A and B are shown apart, each in its own frame.
Chain A
């Protein structure tokens, strides 16, 4: 009797410890995000902003967001990014699905060699060849255009076939074989049987490829020089990291812009969290 009581007390104690730890860590994880939002809402004082957490003449409001949309090119950048990410996410997803299906389901002579070549190609750091990519785009007359960005983002999509192929590998073959006996073509099987089953991995691929243009600024920085054609990431980066701006300039504006981008991605992410988890776990477990 007393032993169970003791055990109960021990559990209670360990739960209390866990709660405390989780609370402390949780606060640590959320604090920077609060700081971001807080700074975004800070209208006055807007310089010297970082120096004091609660300055005397503090004024909160939506002023920075109004300024962001009226006095900077932020809305253009948003539209640019939306255009690039929608186009490149469609292309990337289609490419990845095509390659993964071919490598997972179809059998042909060059299958193994192709998989090895893709593996090797994926091991070179992406921007080692950035300069060369820039000149190839220049030769195609495509520098300083959003099309170039789309091509670059989706052009190497085939390299990330791995997770998706792992998923296809787990789909039972029996159904396909039955369909083949019924006289369905391989193409029809791809469309009518595999695609509907692959919904989680499609959502995962769409999500990751949609988000990547919102976060990349290295390629944009190389390819695009025209302020009107920036994507949000480069625009925001330049806002606080250009030669003209000093340390504290634009920091409130940056935070406002970052919150907008963050809000978009949070919404997307939360609505599809389930698939995302499925995606990364399947990728991790199956290699």
Chain B
């Protein structure tokens, strides 16, 4: 306990690795090259052996596997040797040659970089630990035993065991793939350059130029991109606010004084949440189909989800309507929770002043709700920008509109950025490079929105205030 407090008083007794090398003992200096030697010299055998083992494993990985991909990665191109058949002069036959695979070079290259980064942290910890020991000895203090080290992991260092496993998962399944896909944005990885048959290579900012420069005419990537972007925003706006207001209004109606069977009404809507979204969406797709039940009942012949006229206006409206069906129960649940928290004195005061129900709604309820739920609204907005399921399952992005979304862009008229991205990566003629740029655009949009939320949200500033 006392050590911890003292450690805090001197915030950084060792200014980085450099001073550790200059001021540390020889054992510490040795641990720059042979990890764990500092600990072993101080008789912390278990800890030292652990470090040594990690270093050995790292070298085995680097020289046995990762190193050659790293070399490729830093050689400026993603492979030179194409796989295929080669004429062998001496044997007089065609031989199969396994060439470079740009994809694997990039993937394993990124993996190796991540592993090196992790190893660097472990390496720095090893040196710092050893240098800390040096300082302790100089001050005449006892060194912690292995048992005490373990004990500190359940106390002041509890965060380390708590975080390490979830973060390993994050590293492998989120961070590494992400770095990989971001790098793809700077290559020409598409159906014309698909390993193992063909190689792809760095192209700098070409993909960004293709997507953002408007010089290419009305069916160029850039023109289509801005159309998809515009619809993405229009959709997200309507989807968020229709849900919000309708949910709020229904919640108010159920909460109204004198309305009976509140639980029944609420359940009626809440059942919709319990039906898995993909079921609802596939069902709606069938109901709204040209041969579907809706047309049968109405006696019409309307392509609810496939009418491409007026910029596919009808499918777009239908998507927003279906989304209301899916989303309103959620907002209803949330709103009725918050409505109960509005202090009743507000209402009583307003009623004594003789305010009408409508005025009370606009002057008390709505401002209160908006203030409390702004973070929720922004999160919803971002969520809707990324709402893949509803578009993919209802219209699949369609109807196809070759006039405005044609060319090689593979976009369709109700595509959001995400569904377009998905089609670009899973189509028979994939264009991973463009998809990756779109992914980065989505990131920038979400990042801006989330920054606003984060700055406004209560919990980031007032973490301790609830205490």
Indicate, yes or no, whether A interacts with B.
yes
B280 pairs with A125, CB closer than 8 A: no
Q: Which of A114, A215, A287 meets B276, CB within 8 Å?
A: A215
Interchain CA distance A125-B441 in the complex, whole Å: 10
Q: Which residue from A11, A25, A122, A152 sits with its C-beta under 8 Å from B258?
A: A11
> Are B268 and A30 interface neighbours, CB within 8 A?
yes
A57 within 8 A of B: no
**Chain B residue nearest in CB terms to A268:** B274
Asked if residues A170 and B466 are in contact (CB atoms below 8 Å), the reply is yes
CA gap between A54 and B392 in the complex, in Å: 30
Q: Across the interface, do B289 and A125 meet the contact criterion of CB distance under 8 Å?
A: no
Query: Which residues in window 258-287 of B have CB below 8 A to A?
Result: 258-259, 265, 268-280, 282-284, 286-287
Q: How far is the CA of A52 from the CA of B373 in the complex (A)?
A: 44
Mark each residue of chain A from 172 to 198: 1 if its CB lies under 8 Å from any CB of chain B, else 0: 110000000000011110100000000
Asked whether A269 lies within 8 Å of B273 as measured between CB atoms, the reply is yes
**Within 8 Å of chain B (Cβ to Cβ): is A69?**
no
**Does A281 belong to the interface (CB within 8 Å)?**
yes
Residues of the A chain whose Cβ atoms lie less than 8 Å from the Cβ of B278: 215, 217, 233, 236-237
CB distance from A272 to the nearest CB of B (A): 11
Q: Check B174 against A159 for contact (C-beta < 8 Å).
A: yes
Instruction: Determine whether B156 belongs to the interface, using a CB cutoff of 8 Å to chain A.
Output: yes
Partner pick for A102 among B163, B180, B375, B439, CB 8 A cutoff: B163
Contact status A127-B177, CB under 8 Å: no
A113 within 8 A of B: no
Contact call A51/B296, Cβ cutoff below 8 A? yes
Answer yes or no: B118 CB below 8 A from chain A CBs: no
Q: How far is the CB of B44 from chain A (nearest CB, A)?
A: 22
Q: Number of A-B pairs whose CB atoms are under 8 Å?
A: 269
State whether A22 and B458 are in contact (beta carbons under 8 Å apart), knowing that A32-B325, A280-B333 are contacts in the complex.
Answer: no
Stretch at the interface among A60-68, A72-80, A257-265: A257-265
Whether the Cβ atoms of B165 and A29 lie closer than 8 Å is no
C-alpha spacing A188/B158, complex, angstroms: 11
Q: A22-B254, A124-B178, A131-B425 are in contact. Are A281 and B296 (CB under 8 A)?
A: no
B291 within 8 A of A: yes
Distance in Å from the Cβ of B318 to the closest Cβ of chain A? 14
Q: Are B467 and A173 in contact (CB under 8 A)?
A: yes
Given contacts A172-B467, A258-B283, contact A123 B174 (CB under 8 A): no
Bound Cα distance from A114 to B283, whole angstroms? 42
Contact B158–A123 (Cβ < 8 Å): no
Complex contact A136–B284 (CB within 8 A): no
Determine if B338 is an interface residue (Cβ-Cβ < 8 Å). yes
Interface flag for B155 (CB, 8 Å): yes
With A240-B282, A265-B276 as known contacts, state yes or no: A135 contacts B269, CB within 8 Å: no
Check if A95 sits within 8 Å of B388, measured CB to CB. no
Contact A135 B334 (CB under 8 A): no
| A90 proximal to B (CB < 8 A) | no
Cα-based distance from A125 to B316 in the complex (angstroms): 22
- Taking CB atoms, residues of chain B closer than 8 Å to A46 are none
- How long is the Cα–Cα vector from A258 to B286 in the complex, in angstroms? 14
- Contact call A169/B466, Cβ cutoff below 8 A: yes
| Contact of A22 with B265 in the complex, beta carbons under 8 Å | yes
- Does B463 sit within 8 A of A, measured CB to CB? yes
- Give CA–CA (A135, B103) in the complex, Å: 9
Instruction: Give bound CA distance, A130 to B435, whole Å.
Output: 12
Interface size on A, residues (CB 8 A): 102
Q: Which residues of A contact B170 (CB under 8 A)?
A: 118, 121, 155-156, 158-159
Give bound CA distance, A153 to B158, whole Å: 25
Which residues of A, 141-182, contact B by the 8 Å Cβ criterion? 151-152, 154-159, 165-166, 169-170, 172-173
Q: How far is the CB of B429 from chain A (nearest CB, A)?
A: 15
Contact A123 B443, beta carbon cutoff 8 Å: yes
B466 A151 Cβ-Cβ under 8 A: no
CA of A122 to CA of B282, assembled, Å: 28
Shortest CB-to-CB span from B368 to chain A, Å, is: 11
Q: Determine if A127 and B373 form an interchain contact, defined as CB atoms under 8 angstroms apart.
A: no
Chain B proximity mask over A98-125: 1 for CB below 8 Å, otherwise 0: 1101101010100100100011111111
Q: Answer yes or no: B365 CB below 8 A from chain A CBs.
A: no
- In the complex the two chains form, is A186's CB within 8 Å of B156's CB? yes
Question: Nearest residue in A to B426 (C-beta to C-beta)?
Answer: A222
Whole-angstrom CA separation of A25 from B292 in the bound complex: 22
By a CB distance below 8 angstroms, the chain A residues around B175 are: 121
Q: A99 vs B458: C-alpha distance in the bound complex, in angstroms? A: 20
Most buried by A among B156, B177, B435: B177
Chain A residues lying within 8 Å of B466, measured Cβ to Cβ, are 169-170
Do A124 and B439 have beta carbons less than 8 Å apart? yes
The digit string for A11-53, where 1 denotes a CB below 8 A from any CB of B, is 1001100110110011011101101100000000000001111
Can you list 6 A-B contacts with CB-CB less than 8 angstroms, sorted by A residue number? Answer: A35-B293, A102-B158, A129-B180, A133-B173, A136-B111, A233-B276
Instruction: Beyond the given A158-B166, A158-B169, A186-B158, please list 16 additional residue pairs across the A-B interface where CB-CB is below 8 A.
Output: A19-B259, A50-B287, A111-B159, A128-B421, A131-B181, A169-B466, A170-B466, A186-B156, A215-B276, A247-B291, A258-B275, A261-B279, A280-B333, A284-B338, A287-B458, A287-B459
Shortest 7 CB-CB contacts between residues of A and residues of B: A287-B457, A155-B173, A129-B177, A128-B439, A132-B177, A281-B337, A155-B169
